[in-house]
Amino acid sequence: MGKPNIIKLVNGIKGDTIKITALNLEGVMRRRLLDLGFVAGALVEVVRKSPLGDPIAFRVSQTTIALRKEESSRIEGELVSNG
């Protein structure tokens, strides 16, 4: 098998599925994202990007959540499938 393709959520394109490997956040924002399902091993789908790329809508645990570039650039994962 090849080396896993690790990307940040902010770099995903519409339709990509990403398996979360790391959250590089602290404090309240980390807790909130963990509560929403952004945990290691979770599959996240990139649903939509706004015209200027901020915010970005993601689907995780049957819920669609919009994150700003600031947050989504601090979440890393393995690209599972391309959009």
Q: Which residue has the tokens 């398996």?
A: 19
Domains and CATH numbers, the chain: 6-81 (2.30.30.90)
**pLDDT score, position 1:** 52
Instruction: Extract the residue ranges of the chain whose pLDDT is less than 50.
Output: none
End-to-end CA distance of the chain, in Å? 21
**pLDDT score, position 66:** 95
pTM: 0.88
Sign for the pseudo-dihedral over CA of 22, 10, 7, 47: positive
**pLDDT score, position 73:** 94
**pLDDT score, position 53:** 78
Rounded CA separation 20/7 (Å): 9
**What DSSP element (H or E) covers 59?**
strand 56-60
Q: Which of 18, 30, 28, 6 is nearest to 56 (CA)?
A: 18
